[in-house]
Structure 1
Amino acid sequence: MHGLNQSIAIGPLGLSIGQLLLVLAFSIALLAGALIGRRHRTPTADTLFTLLFVALVGARLVFVARYWGSYDGALAMLDIRDGGFDPLGGLVAGVGYALWRLWKAPQQRAALSGALVAGAFTWGLTAGPLLLLESQTRPMPDTPLATLAGEPIDLPTLAEREARPMVVNLWATWCPPCRREMPVFEQAQQEESDITFVFVNQGEDESLVNRFLDHESLTLENVLLDARNALGDATGAMAMPTTLYYDAEGRLVDTHFGELSRATLQRGLERLR
């Protein structure tokens, strides 16, 4: 059984559906601003791009402030590949800049207001149903998997045996972000005794996975094989790496697409608790 797609892979680039909808809403805002601005002879594109930049910086700064202790230094804080953004922080920064701009540039008010309304309406119309679907209980799939020793197993069986929250990482040896985040998971698996970590390799065989683990000197428990990529299909995770967070009752409570840092992993673990 195939799950609702939560992400999409475009070559080596993986994007969540939420990110794609954000791009769509921003594109509609640009279009509306251009059309209204043409009528009033007032361009808005530069203002909208600046607003987006301010919102992203605000979201990143708030996230880094919340998880300051999980970063090793300034370079790690600047590395946005981990997807560490605080939505509320970004919203406050973006709205603050928009209000300041509307006050400072009265000639832009009609075009900028129309652009913001169009973008917000598009976001609400598209992201609303998605958030509603995500809020519905999605049970842990019973996709057939195998251990590195060749023994059959599935996630519900493992979850029943462990009887605690579970973090499931979908990965492959050819995936650079997957490789970079493995030491983060190795450390977390050693430190978080109340969480079960599971690493489900997508589409590769036991010998290749073992060679990778040996070469990288990784000590990981619960490394499983999914030769047919069936778990990705069942969960709607088309891009790697993808990390799924299940509570002790086997309900999906959060999903992270793309590379994890210690900070973004910590945020996910907080939601499990």
Structure 2
Amino acid sequence: MHGLNQSIAVGPLGFSIGQLLIILAFGIALLAGALIGRRHRTPTADTLFTLMLVALVGARLLFVARYWGSYDGPLSLLDIRDGGFDPLGGLLAGLGYATWRLWKAPLQRKALGGALLAGAMTWGLTAGPLMLLESQSRPLPDIPLATLAGEPTDLPSLAKRDAQPMVVNLWATWCPPCRREMPVFEQAQQEESDITFAFVNQGEDVALVNRFLDHESLTLDNVLLDARNALGDATGAMAMPTTLYYNAEGRLVDTHFGELSRATLQRGLNRLRPTP
């Protein structure tokens, strides 16, 4: 059974549905700003692009502040490939900048206000139903898998054996972000004894997977094979790497698309643990 797509692969690039909805909302805001701005002879595109940049910086800064101890140095702080953004930081920074611009540039108020309203409505009408669907937590898919020893298994059996939260990583040896994040997972698997990690290779044979693990000197438990990419279809994860977080009851509570850092992995693990 195919699951609702959570991501879309465009060539070598992968985008989550949430990211695509942000792009759509921003595009609608640009269009609305251009139409209204033409009537009032007031361009808004530069302001909207600056607002987006300010929101991204705010989201990154708050995330880094929250997970400061998980970063190794200045370069890792700047590496945004890990998707480490805090929505609250982006919202506060964006609202602050928008408010300042609306106050500072009265001639731009109608066009900019209309653009922001159009973007917000687009986001609300599209992201709302998506969040509602995501809130209906999906269980661990019962997809036949195999161990590196060739023994049949599946994720529900693994979860029943350990009776604890599970992190499932969908990966492939040809995927550069997958390869880069593997040492992060190796360290986490050694340190987080109260969480089960499963690494489900998509569409490759055991010889290729073993060569990769040997070449990279990786020691990982629960490396599984999904020869038909059935797990990606069942979870709606069309892009790799994808990391799925399941609680102890086997319900999906979070999904991360793209490369992980120690900080973004820690954010996902925190969501698996009960709030003190």
If the TM-score is normalised by the length of the shorter chain, which range does it land in? over 0.9
Matching residue of 2:151: 151
Matching residue of 2:257: 257
Residue identity matched to 2:183: P
Give, in angstroms, the shift of residue 188 of structure 1. 0.1
Residue identity matched to 2:95: V
Matching residue of 2:32: 32
CA distance in 2, matches of 1:62, 1:139: 32
| TM-score normalised by length of structure 1 | 1.00
Q: Secondary structure at the match of 2:20?
A: helix
Matching residue of 2:223: 223
| TM-score normalised by length of structure 2 | 0.99
CA distance in 2, matches of 1:106, 1:143: 58
Matching residue of 1:176: 176
Q: Secondary structure at the match of 1:140?
A: coil
CA distance in 2, matches of 1:148, 1:9: 27
The aligned runs of 1:168-247 (5 Å cut-off) are: 168-247=168-247
Q: Secondary structure at the match of 1:4?
A: coil
CA distance in 1, matches of 2:148, 2:21: 38
**How many equivalent residue pairs?**
273
Q: Secondary structure at the match of 1:118?
A: helix
Matching residue of 2:11: 11
CA distance in 2, matches of 1:69, 1:132: 33
Matching residue of 2:272: 272
Give, in angstroms, the shift of residue 236 of structure 1. 0.1
In structure 2, stretches of 5+ residues that fail to align are none
Q: Secondary structure at the match of 1:42?
A: coil
**1:175-218 deviation line (CA, Å, top 9, x unaligned):** 00000000000000000000000000000000000000000000
**1:30-70 deviation line (CA, Å, top 9, x unaligned):** 00000000000000000000000000000000000000000
The aligned runs of 1:79-90 (5 Å cut-off) are: 79-90=79-90
Residue identity matched to 1:7: S
Q: Secondary structure at the match of 1:200?
A: strand
CA distance in 2, matches of 1:74, 1:8: 31
Matching residue of 2:58: 58
Q: Secondary structure at the match of 1:36?
A: helix
Give, in angstroms, the shift of residue 137 of structure 1. 2.2
The answer to whether residue 45 in structure 2 is matched with residue 45 in structure 1 is yes
The answer to whether residue 125 in structure 2 is matched with residue 125 in structure 1 is yes
